[in-house]
A and B are shown apart, each in its own frame.
Chain A
Amino acid sequence: MLFNKRTERYFIWVFFPLALLMPLFLAENTFFVSKLTSVMIFALFVMSLDYLVGRCGLITLGHAMFYGLGGYLFWMIAPEYEAVNFWVYTFYICTIAAAVALVIGFLVLRTSGIYMIMITLAFAQMAFYFFSDSIEFGGNDGLFIYVKPETSIFGLSFFDLDNPIHFYYLCLLSLFNTLVFFRVLIRSRFGRVVDAINENPGRTTALGYNIFMYRLMSYVIASALGAYAGYLFTLQYGFVNPSMMAWTTSGSALVMSILGGMGSIYGAILGTFAYEGLHYLLEHLTEYWMLFMGILIIAMVMIFKNGIAGYMEKLLEKRI
């Protein structure tokens, strides 16, 4: 289904100003700020998955591999006791992750449907066990990042990554940029071809497009952004461990994306906040939060067929 642009615009105008103003009121509550930051980082990850699954129709259960890779790559290429430049390393990490995605995508995209779900899972599990079984990479405990990068551009530094509020704004900016990036991408010529491929691969091929290349490019873009989210996660908590790559990470990201409204991109933010919010709430109310979470997820599938974004759009359509 095609999502309504007006609802997306409303959402952007409500969510981002609120998020921008939030630290003014709650700056003292460091726990809350850092919780929101981590949810935003994950929302960025879910957004990249949402593009891949919802827009390109490439269902993957191995996206968390790139999330973890973002963290491990930083540990591998950055010197241990020296602050590096954040922007330069963002570029490095996204580039290397993109190169990895190019190779893996080349193999994975030969399959489709249920087999693609499984082969992406296979690669992710390989990466998971590679890192969790190796001594050099810290095994199951993972690794610590001792020095956080500095963020100067031409000698001007806007963000101090050790300050939770600064880091919050950096993540908010990243999330906003990613959303804008996908909006532009989807409305571009490239995005329209991708939509056409999702709608009908056969006809798009008949029109003379090399659908494999479009899929591969989408896979590379989404994977690089997934790695960026993992890099931010690692910077926030100062460690990286294999559970970032576990299939359950991919699985819950998929749940959030479906919850938000698959393919709507901004729905990724809705889905992640709804899921994490419910999780947090239920976990504090009851020891058996999983029971209610499970029932809620089941109810969501039965009632909201197009996720929260789809439901919001229905509501708005009725009123206007």
Chain B
Amino acid sequence: MDTSLFLVQLINGLQYGLLLFLIASGLTLVFGVMGILNLAHGSMYMVGAYLAWYFVEHTGSFALSAIISAVIALIIGVVVERTLIRQLYRRNHLDQVLLTIGMIFVFNALQSLLWGNDPLGVAVPAALSSAVPLTDVLEYPVYRIFVALLCIAIAVVMYFMINKTRLGMLIRAGESNREMVECLGIDIRQLYTIVFAIGVMLAAVAGVVAAPMSSIVPGMGEHILITCFVVVVIGGMGSIKGAFVAALLVGLVDTFASVLVPQMSSMMIYIVMAFILLIKPQGLFSS
């Protein structure tokens, strides 16, 4: 592997890792704050991609469709939390698994009902469709760089939100002691609704920005879900910082494995995960 190929793979890996972080951060946030294991998180990614396709077809503007999709995702998040997830706080993980598997079924059925089962595609927005030259012969699409930068921006915003704002303070407090937060007169149920809706929105936004880079197919949610679980577990359940490091690690491992050891590329991230869990059973950044 020469330098330029290495460079391209490095950027690819980082960009994939950042996208994974966007999805996994919602998953780990919901688990960390609410203790909910949301298997339907991948479905939200799928919903985001399909919504992006739908609104791009109807409005013609990618930016507009991204905003509409994010708002719809927020609404879905609030509704799902208020009606279903709320019943589960005092139940065990198994009931959560069952309920969220039920939700996967419902979302998959709605997807095939509303949009059919044929693969769909979204065109890269015109303003971002060019490519930047890396070396004399290689160039890299601007859109992918834009996605990477967007993911970094969202990560920075999340960092500030969690560490510097009042909402972030409540989230951190809710993570460490639910009862105490309630005793201080905070409506924890409202906080949970907000956190869940943000988690759903992050997954949907990831779906939206991923739409122009990959084809939109049924079952895309489940595939990404498992990869995100790997990320969240390697990073330590509930740790956003851990999810960030683990997402980059998984992105790089997956990308380089498919170049260096193609015959076992799909296994590689699971091997890494098993290895890390055997050394640190609680993940890299467990609290």
Contact = CB atoms under 8 A, between A and B. Distances in A.
Interface in A278-320: 287-298, 300-302, 305
A53 B274 contact: no
**Which applies to chain B's interface (DSSP): helix, strand, loop or mixed?**
helix
Interface in A251-272: 251, 254-255, 258-259, 262
Contacts of A294: 102-109
A129 B267 contact: yes
Interface string B92-106: 011101110111111
Contact of B230 (A117, A122, A295, A301): A122
Contact of A111 (B93, B270, B277): B277
B222 A126 contact: no
Contacts of B105: 290-291, 293-294, 297
Nearest to A289: B109
Nearest to B105: A294
Contacts of B104: 294
A297 B277 contact: no
B161 interface: no
A288 B109 contact: yes
B273 interface: yes
A53 B271 CA distance: 24
A202 B274 CA distance: 26
A113 B97 CA distance: 13
Contacts of A129: 264, 266-267, 270
B220 to A, nearest CB: 14
A126 B274 contact: yes
B9 interface: no
Contacts of A101: none
A247 interface: yes
A255 B277 contact: no
A146 interface: no
Given A115-B277, A119-B273, A133-B267, A262 B99 contact: no
A110 B105 CA distance: 33
A114 B84 contact: no
Looking at B88, B102, B107, the one whose CB has the most chain A CB atoms below 10 A away is B102
Contacts of A247: 226
Contacts of A193: none
B113 A291 contact: yes
Nearest to B238: A114
* Most chain B beta-carbon contacts within 10 A, residue among A113, A126, A255, A287: A126
B237 interface: yes
A298 B102 contact: yes
A259 B94 CA distance: 11
A243 to B, nearest CB: 13
A248 interface: yes
A133 B229 contact: no
Nearest to B283: A115
B110 interface: yes
B60 interface: no
Nearest to B234: A118
A123 interface: yes
Nearest to B266: A129
A158 interface: no
In this complex, the member of A129, A251, A298 whose beta carbon has the largest number of chain B beta carbons within 10 angstroms is A298
B282 to A, nearest CB: 7
A121 interface: yes
Nearest to B110: A291
Nearest to A115: B281
A295 B102 contact: yes
